[in-house]
Amino acid sequence: MKRIYMDHSATTPVDSLVVDAMLPYFTDKFGNASSLHSFGQEAAQALEQSRQQVANSIGAKPEEIIFTSGGTESDNLAIKGVAYRNSRKGKHIITSTIEHPAVLSTCAYLEKEGFEVTYVAVDSDGIIDTEELEKSIRDDTILISVMHANNEIGTIQPISDISKFAKERGIYLHTDAVQSLGKIAVNVDELGVDLLSISSHKIHGPKGVGALYVRKGTPLQTLAHGGGHERHMRAGTENISGIVGFAKAVALADERIVDDAKHMRHLRDLLINKVMNSIDNAYLVGHPTKRLPNNVNIRFSFIEGESMLLFLDMKGIAISTGSACSSKSLEPSHVLTAIGLKPEDSHGSLRITLGKDNLQEEIDYVAKALVEIVGHLRAMSPIAGKNPSLR
């Protein structure tokens, strides 16, 4: 069976050029970057070249990049790192209601540790209320953490606006750019952020690698203690093959971003139009234009996401849903709740996230499959009414 992968916000296949770049670092140039001999120096060189590559891509200096094990670790390090190191200045943190669990769980943990966190609301499109955010700033606010683009609904946040009042008030600003990297421009100065999280496996790099950008002069508490790796900010033998792969993925994304984004945007709009035109009671979730070029999030009334997902999977199509039934917590997506969707509406949401290699014919196939599956499930639904509304 043909398999169509449209869940690129969950993870992406590693580009074969990335694998090629990594391979020598497994068996051949396998040294430990801390070793003084030639094997080690080879590794150290690869590490620093990779750091340069990643730094260049986001407009940073190499010494502002800390390699981590992924986006989650980067988020943890940014938020706890700033919180612990600046707790004498204040213990108040501001974030949004639609952050990734890596940010929200970290904030919840800090609340238990005596920090106070304000969760700023978003509007029905998922855009943060910057006025509310500004009003929530206090004298003891030390950190604002707002994601660049949302992983479920693709909404892009006005980070550079937020940066203005963060700067005025001398508050550190962190953004989770895990989903935006490689899809839209990510530049630390244009965004005006002090900390920025990115992850390799979302941009066709290997899993288990990420980075945190830390603007020079931002005081940060180390979380991983050990050897003096990453300028004492993150201990652990550096994952050279992974880091080289990440850097290659970043380089490829930089080269291709204009073409890829255009391609994905085209497919995205095609899919949205097709679905909207062929299925009644289907609604686009998230902002119509301020959204990632690869994000489609649509909800279908009367039916539930997991069963759609399973039927699509049987047709070889991989997507994701905000339905509670598909989550370990059995709660509907906190993002969909935050934008004001009622639980019964959240249950029927599908997230379709495109990749650079998706094809127009795949869009046609998926749209067709959706018509069929939505029809089938609505026919089975006790709430669809007598008139399962298929145009």
Partner 1 sequence: MYNEKVMDHFSNPRNVGEIEDADGIGEVGNPTCGDMMNIYIKVKDGILTDVKFKTFGCGAAIATSSMITEIAIGKTIEEALEITRNDVAEELGGLPQVKMHCSNLAADGLHAAIEDYRNKQNIKK
Ligand X SMILES: Cc1ncc(COP(=O)(O)O)c(C=O)c1O
Q: Where are the alpha helices (DSSP H) in the chain?
A: 16-22, 24-27, 38-58, 71-85, 101-112, 130-135, 159-168, 188-191, 229-232, 240-278, 305-314, 334-338, 343-346, 360-380
CA atoms of 207 and 214, how far apart (whole Å): 22
- Residue 197, helix vs strand vs coil: strand
User: 299 to each of 8, 221, 272, 331, 386, how far by Cα in Å?
Assistant: 19, 42, 11, 16, 20
Beta carbon nearer to ligand X, 31 or 210 = 210
Binding test (CB under 8 A) with partner 1, winner from 114, 170, 288, 382: 382
Closest distance of CB 62 from partner 1, Å: 15
Query: Is residue 381 involved in binding partner 1 (CB under 8 A)?
Result: yes
Q: Which 8-state DSSP code applies to residue 289?
A: S
The DSSP bridge partners found for residue 297 are 351
Asked whether 324 and 347 are in contact (CB, 8 A), the reply is: yes
At residue 278, φ and ψ (nearest 5 deg) are -110, -10
Confirm if 317 and 271 have CB atoms less than 8 A apart. Answer: no
Distance between CA atoms of 303 and 311, rounded to whole angstroms?
A: 12
Site for a copy of itself in 137-156 (CB under 8 A): none
Residue 193 interacts with ligand X (CB under 6 A)? no
- The interface with partner 1 within residues 40-79 (CB under 8 A) comprises 41
> Amino acid letter at 278?
S
Contacts to a copy of itself from residues 293-352, by CB under 8 A: 306, 309-310, 312-313, 316-321, 326, 328-329
Got the DSSP string for 98-158?
Answer: T--HHHHHHHHHHHHTT-EEEEE-B-TTS-B-HHHHHHT--TTEEEEE--SB-TTT-BBP-
Instruction: Find the binding residues for a copy of itself in span 176-215 (CB under 8 A).
Output: 199, 201, 206-209
Residue 324, binding choice from a copy of itself, ligand X, partner 1, none, Cβ under 5 to 8 Å by partner class: partner 1
> Using CB under 6 A, which of the segments 130-138, 173-181, 281-289, 299-307 binds ligand X?
173-181
Q: Which stretch binds a copy of itself (CB under 8 A): 15-23, 273-281, 342-350, 357-365?
A: 15-23
Region 31-50 residues binding a copy of itself, contact defined as CB under 8 A: 31-32, 34-40
Provide the CA 4 distance to its chain's centre, in angstroms.
21
5 touching a copy of itself, by CB under 8 A: yes
Tell whether residue 71 is a contact of ligand X (CB under 6 A): yes
323: three-class secondary structure by DSSP: coil
Q: Which residues belong to the active site?
A: 325
For the bound state, the minimum distance from the C-beta of residue 33 to ligand X, rounded and expressed in Å, comes to 11
CB of 10 to ligand X, least distance (A): 7
Residue 35 near ligand X by CB under 6 A? no
Query: Does position 330 bind partner 1 by CB under 8 A?
Result: yes
Q: Which residues bind ligand X (CB under 6 A)?
A: 70-72, 75, 100, 102, 147, 151, 176, 178-179, 199, 201, 210, 236-237
Q: Which residues bind partner 1 (CB under 8 A)?
A: 36, 41, 302-307, 310-311, 314, 323-326, 328, 330, 332, 342-344, 347, 379-384
